[in-house]
Structure 1
Amino acid sequence: MTSAPDRPRRALLALAIGSFGIGMTEFVVMGLLPEIARELLPSAWATSQEDAIAQAGWLITLYALGVVIGAPTIAASVAKYPRHRVMILLAGALTLFNALTLVLPTFELVAASRLLAGLPHGAYFGIGALVAADVMGPGNRAKGVAFVLTGLTVANVVGVPLGTFLGQNLGWRWAFVLVVVIFAAATVAIALTVPHRPGEPSRTLRAELAVFRIGQVWFALGIGAIGFGGFFAVYTYVSPLVTEAAGAPAWLVPIVLVILGLGMTAGNLVGGHLADVNLIRAMFGLLILLVVTQLLLALTSGWIVTVIVFVFAVAFASSAVSPTIQTRLMDVAGDNQSIAAALNHSALNTGNALGAALGGAVIAAGLGFTAPVWVGLALALGGLGIAALSIGIERRTQTRVPARV
C-alpha cells in the first residue's frame, strides 16, 4: 500500500519520466544529423554532405517552432481544465507524434512530425510545474518543480548519448523507438499517480494572454530567444564539429554529448544558486561567460581536446543562464505565472530554431563546420545587448516615479 508521503514522489517521478523523454526527442537529433541526412536525403548526400546535413538541421528548427507555437496557445487554452487530464493528453500526444517520426518514410513527412512533436513540449513543462508545486504543497513547491526538470537534465547526460549510440550503430530510427517507449511509460505513470484536481473555469484564454501586454516580458523572452540561440548553434552541429572540424572519430560524439550534458547539469545548479543571490548580476555575468566560451571554442575548434573542454564550458554557461531568464520572466510577469512558465520554453526554443537555422545556413554557404560557433557567439552578444537594454529601461522608469510625486 502506498503511504501518503510516497504519493507526491511518485507523481513527480511520472512527470520527470516525461521530461526525460522530451529531453531525448529534442536533442537526440542533433547527434544524428549525418545518419538522418544519409537516409532521408540520399540525393543531396551524394552531391554534398554539407548541404544534406544543413538541410537535415531543419528537423531541429521545426521541432523548436512547434514548441514556440504550442507553448502559449496550448497552456492558455487548457488552463481551465483539470490538470491531471491535461497532462495525460499531453503525454499521449508526445507518444503519438514521436511514433510518427519513427515510422514515416520521407524527409518531408518526418519534418511535419517534428513540428507536431514540438507542440505539447512547452505546455507539458508549464502545466507540469504547476502540478509539481501543487502535489508538494507550500514550502516545497520549488523542490517539486526542480525534480520534474531533472528529467530533462538527465536526458542530456544519459538519454541523448544512448540514443545517439543506438542511432549510429543500428540506424537513427532506433533512437526514436526508445523515445516512444519512454513517453508511453510516462503516459501510463501520469494516469496512475498524478492526483485528480478540479479545473479553474475562470482562467480563460483571454486572461492568460494578457501577459503579452507587459513590455519587460518581451525583453525577457528576447534574452532567451537570442542569447540561448548561441548555445543551440553549437549543440545542433556538435557531431560535425567533432568529426569534421576537429577530425575526431564518430564514436567520440556520444562521449562529447555526455560531457555536454554534464556541463548543462552543473550549469543549471550553479545558475539557480547565483540567481537567488543576485539575479541581475548573475544574468549579466553568465551571458558574458557564454560569449567568452563561445569565442574560445571557435578559436580552438581544430583540436578535439579543446573542443571537449569548451563544449562543456559553453553548455555550463548557457544552462546557468537559463534559470536566471526563467526567474526574470516570472518576476516581470505579474499574476500570469502559469503562461510565463510555458513561455520560457517557447523563448528557449525560438533560440533553438534560430541557432539551428543560422548554423545550417553558414554550413550550406561553405563556411565550414566551425562557422556555427561564430554564429553562436554573435547570438550570445545579442542576448547580452537585450539584457542591457531591458535593465536600462527598467531603471529609467523606476527613477521617474519619485520625480512625479
Structure 2
Amino acid sequence: MKKSLIALSFGGLTIGITEFVMMGLLPDIASNMKVSIPVAGYLISAYALGVVIGAPLLVILGRNFPPKKMLLILALMLTVFNALSIIAPTYNFLFASRFLSGLPHGAFFGVGAVVASRLADKGKEAQAIAIMFSGLTLANLIGVPIGTYIGHHFIWRYTFVLIAIVGMLTFLLISLWMPRLDKGETVNMKKQLEFFKRTEAWLIIGITAIGFGGLFAWISYIAPLLINVSKFAEGDVSYILILAGLGMVVGNFAGGKLADKYSPAPTTLALLFIMSIDLILVYFFSSNQYMSLFLTFLTGTISFSVIAPIQMLMIRTAKGAEMIASAALQGSFNIGNALGAFLGGLPLTAGYSYASPNLIGVGMSVVGMLITLTLIKIHKNNLQLQSV
C-alpha cells in the first residue's frame, strides 16, 4: 500500500472522529455546559453546516493550489479548529468551534479523492479512493468508541485533544509521504459550476441530504437512546458504539460490492427501503437490550451500505466537474447530518421518548426513496445511471 494513501486515510480518520464522536458525548457535554440534550444536539448541526459551507467554498478558493499544499492547509485547519473545542469556555464558543471544524471536511475528501485517483495504479483508482475513506470507517470502529470512553470516564475535552493529535499526525504524514503533484490544468470554475445545472445532480443531492439523513436522526441521539430506553449504563455506551462502527465497516464493504454488481439507482432505492424498516424496528425494540445491540450493528451496516451506490450515481453525473461534485456530495451528506440532528431533536423537545427520533429517520428515508424513484423515472432510458 502506498504511503501517500495511508496519509489520506489518516485525514479520513481525523474527520470521522470529529464528525461522529459528538453523538456519544452529548450527555457529557449537555451536563457540563448546563444545556438540554436537544440543545447539545445542535452542536452536531453546527459541524454539518460548516461542511456544507466549507466544501464548495474551500474547493473554489484553493482550486489552483498544488494538491499537496491544499491538503496540508486543510489538515492544519482540522487540527487548529478542533483544538479550539478543548478550551471552549461556553456553549456558544463550542458551537462556533464545531462549525469551524466542519469547514475543511468536504474539501479534504473532494481534493483527496482526486489525488488518490492520480496516485493509484492504472485500473485501481476506486480502490485508492476506498483506502482514503477507510479512515472514516475505522474512526467509527475504533476512534469514536475511544473518544466516547475518554469523554465518559475523564473529561469530554480530552477527546478533542485526541482529535487534535490525530490531526497533527495527518499533517505530518502528508508532509512526509505525499509527493508534490503538479496542479494540472487551470480549473475553469464556470465549467465546474455548470454541474449544478444538471437536474440529476440536484436529485442525488436530495437523496443524500434527506434519505441518508435518516442515519443521523438515529445516531445523533444514540447515547441517550441506549441509556434511557435500552437501560445500559452510561459507561457501556463507548463499548456499544464499537458495534455501530463494525457495522459501518461491513456496510461500506457490502455497499461497494452491491454498487459494482447492481445498478446504482435501484440499489439506492432498495437500501433506503431497508433502512426505513430497520429504523422502525429500532423504535419498537430498543427497550430490549439484546435487540438493541443487534439493531445497533444492523443500523450501522445498512446506513453505510447506501454510501457507495450514491457515490456511483454522483460520479456518473460529474464528468468534467469531479472535484466540485465530490465536495458537493460531502456537503450533501452533512446536510443530512444537520437535518437528522435538528429534526430528530424536535420530538425530544416536545417531550417524547429518546426512541422517537427514529420515526423522523423513517420519514426522511421514505422521502429519499421518493426522490430516488423520481430519478429512476426521469432517467429510465439513461444507461449511464441505470447500468454499471
The TM tier, using the shorter chain, reads: over 0.9
Alignment of 1:39 with 2:32, yes or no, is: yes
Partner of residue 401, structure 1: none
Partner of residue 183, structure 1: 167
* Aligned-pair CA distance for 1:24: 0.4
**In structure 2, what is the Cα distance between the partners aligned to 1:256 and 1:397?**
43
Q: How does 1:293-372 map to 2 (within 5 A)?
A: 293-372=278-357
Per-residue Cα deviation, 1:106-158 (whole angstroms, up to 9, x for no partner)? 10011001101001000101111111111223222111111111111000000
Any conservation in 2 of the 1:60–1:356 contact (CA below 8 Å)? Answer: yes
Off by >6 Å, runs of 4+ in structure 1: none
- 1, 9, 18: which one pairs with 1:25? 18
Instruction: State how many pairs are aligned.
Output: 382
Match of 1:23, as an amino acid?
Answer: G
- 211, 215, 218: which one pairs with 1:231? 215
Partner of residue 2, structure 2: 9
- 384, 387, 396: which one pairs with 2:369? 384
Match of 2:188, as an amino acid?
Answer: T
Q: Please, what TM-score do these two structures have when normalized by structure 1?
A: 0.92
Partner of residue 192, structure 1: 176
Partner of residue 290, structure 1: 275
Partner of residue 236, structure 2: 252
Q: How does 1:97-116 map to 2 (within 5 A)?
A: 97-116=81-100
Q: Please, what TM-score do these two structures have when normalized by structure 2?
A: 0.96
* Aligned-pair CA distance for 1:396: 6.8
* Aligned-pair CA distance for 1:202: 2.2
Any conservation in 1 of the 2:114–2:322 contact (CA below 8 Å)? Answer: no
Any conservation in 1 of the 2:47–2:98 contact (CA below 8 Å)? Answer: yes
Q: Secondary structure at the match of 2:2?
A: helix
**In structure 1, what is the Cα distance between the partners aligned to 2:8 and 2:358?**
34
Match of 1:320, as an amino acid?
Answer: S
* Aligned-pair CA distance for 1:201: 5.1
**In structure 2, what is the Cα distance between the partners aligned to 1:129 and 1:330?**
11
**In structure 1, what is the Cα distance between the partners aligned to 2:208 and 2:380?**
20
* Aligned-pair CA distance for 1:192: 1.1
Q: Secondary structure at the match of 2:364?
A: helix
**In structure 1, what is the Cα distance between the partners aligned to 2:296 and 2:211?**
16
**In structure 1, what is the Cα distance between the partners aligned to 2:132 and 2:381?**
38
Per-residue Cα deviation, 1:274-316 (whole angstroms, up to 9, x for no partner)? 1111123321221111111111111112112111111221111
Per-residue Cα deviation, 1:373-392 (whole angstroms, up to 9, x for no partner)? 11111111111111001111
**In structure 2, what is the Cα distance between the partners aligned to 1:96 and 1:310?**
36
Q: Secondary structure at the match of 2:306?
A: helix
Match of 1:372, as an amino acid?
Answer: P
Per-residue Cα deviation, 1:253-285 (whole angstroms, up to 9, x for no partner)? 112210001111111111111111112332122
Per-residue Cα deviation, 1:149-174 (whole angstroms, up to 9, x for no partner)? 11110000000000000000111001
* Aligned-pair CA distance for 1:397: 8.0
CA RMSD, Structure 1 to Structure 2 (Å): 1.3
Per-residue Cα deviation, 1:18-63 (whole angstroms, up to 9, x for no partner)? 11011001111100101101111x2x4xxxxxxx100000100010
Partner of residue 93, structure 1: 77
Any conservation in 2 of the 1:267–1:318 contact (CA below 8 Å)? Answer: yes
User: Any unmatched runs of 5+ in structure 1?
Assistant: 1-7, 45-51, 399-405
State the percentage of identical aligned residues. 37
Match of 1:15, as an amino acid?
Answer: L
